[in-house]
Amino acid sequence: MIRHSLLSKIIFFRCNVRSLVVVKAVQEHIMDDHQLVKDCLKGKAAAQRELYDRFASSMLAVCYRYTKSVADAEDVLQEGFVKAFKNLQQYKGEGELGGWLRRIMVTTAINFLKKNSRYQSELVFGDERLHAVSSYQPEVNLEAKELANLIRQLPAGYQTIFNLHAVEGYSHVEIGKILGIQEGTSRSQYARARALLIQWIEQRSGDVKNRSYAR
C-alpha cells in the first residue's frame, strides 16, 4: 500500500512537472508571437517574412481543406495573408497567433468559394430534411491524408460544413451565421456529408478485404 502510494505521488509529480514545462513553452511561444507582431507592425521586413515562413505551411493545409486544388488553396493563402497583415493590429496577444491566423484563413476560404464560379454550383444549401445517420463507425484504418482526400471529394457545400463543424469545432448555430443559412440546414448538410463519408469508407474497407481474400 505504501509502495503504491509512493508510486502514485511520483507519477503525479512527473505529470505536474511535464504540465508546467508544456505551459511554460506555450507561454514563451505566445510571448514570442506577440513580439513578432510588434516588429511586423513597425514595418520590419525580416519580421514580416518570418511570420509568413513560420505559418505558411500549416495555413496552406487549412486552405487546401476547403478547396479542390493546390492552386486554389495557394490563392486563398495569399489573400488570407494580405488580410492578416492588413489587420495585424487586431491581434491582442490573447491566445496563439496561429489560431488567429487560422480563423482568417477559414473566412477567406469561404469567401473564395462564394465568389468563385467553379464552386458556386456546389455551394448550395438546401433545406431538405435527411434521415438520421447511424452512429456506426466502420473499422478501417485510414491515414489522415486519405481521409482528407475523401473529405475533399464531397460537394463544396458539404465539404465546407463538415470542415467547419468536425475540424474547426464551430457549432451549427455559428455555421449558420457564417454561411447565412438556418441552423437546421447546417445540421442536415453535415449529416449528409457524414453519411457519404461513411459510405465511401465502407466501400474502401470492402475493397481492401476483397483484395486480401484474393491473395
Number of domains in the chain: 2
> What does the CA dihedral 19, 20, 23, 29 come to, rounded to 10 degrees?
-130
Q: Within this chain, do residues 115 and 153 fall inside the same structural domain, yes or no?
A: no
pTM flag (> 0.75): no
pLDDT digits (tens, 9 = 90+) for 99-146: 999 999 999 999 999 898 778 766 666 544 333 333 444 333 456 778
C-beta contacts of 98-101 below 8 A and 24+ residues apart = 98/33, 98/55, 98/58, 101/55, 101/59
> 80: which residues sit within 8 A by CB, 6+ positions away?
59, 63, 101, 104, 105, 108, 109
Q: Is residue 33 part of a domain?
A: yes
Q: Is the pLDDT at 198 greater than 50, yes or no?
A: yes
Are 22 and 58 within one domain? yes
- Is it the case that residue 21 has pLDDT exceeding 60? no
User: Which of 117-121, 148-152, 180-184 tops mean pLDDT?
Assistant: 180-184
Q: Are 30 and 95 in contact (CB under 8 A)?
A: yes
Q: Which domain holds residue 205?
A: 144-214
CATH value at residue 190 = 1.10.10.10
Co-location of 41 and 77 in the same domain:
yes
Does residue 153 sit in the same domain as residue 111? no
Residues 113 and 148 reside in one and the same domain: no
